[in-house]
Amino acid sequence: MYSYSNERSRQPSVEVGGQLGGCGALGAEIVNLSLSMPTLPGPDRPPLLGRDVPEVEFQRSAELMADVLQRACQAGVKISLELHDDGLLDSAELCLGFLNRIQTPIVGVNPDLGNICRGPGPMPDWEDALRLLAPRTNCWHVKNYRDGEAAPLWDGDIDYARAFAIMKEAGYQGWVSIESYVGEVLESQRGSVEYLKRLARRAL
**DSSP for the chain, written as a single string:** ----SSTTTTHHHHHHHHHHHHHHHTT-SEEEE--B-SS--BTTBPPP-GGGS-HHHHHHHHHHHHHHHHHHHHHT-EEEEE--SSBS--SHHHHHHHHHHH--TTEEEE--GGGGSS-SSSPP-HHHHHHHHGGGBS-EEE-EEETTEEE-TTSSSS-HHHHHHHHHHTT--S-EEE---SSSHHHHHHHHHHHHHHHHHHH-
Please give the pLDDT value at position 42: 86
Q: Please give the chain's pLDDT, 204 residues, in tens.
A: 434 344 444 555 667 878 999 999 999 999 999 999 888 888 888 999 999 999 999 999 999 999 899 999 999 999 999 999 999 999 999 999 999 999 999 999 999 999 999 988 889 999 999 999 999 999 999 999 999 999 999 999 999 999 999 999 999 999 999 998 788 889 999 999 999 999 998 876
Q: Which amino acid is at 191?
A: G
Query: Nearest 5 degrees, angle CA 73-CA 87-CA 145?
Result: 105
pTM score of the predicted model: 0.91
Please give the pLDDT value at position 6: 43
Q: What domains, with CATH codes, occur in the chain?
A: 1-110 (3.20.20.150), 111-204 (no CATH)
Please give the pLDDT value at position 5: 40
**C-alpha R_g of the chain:** 17
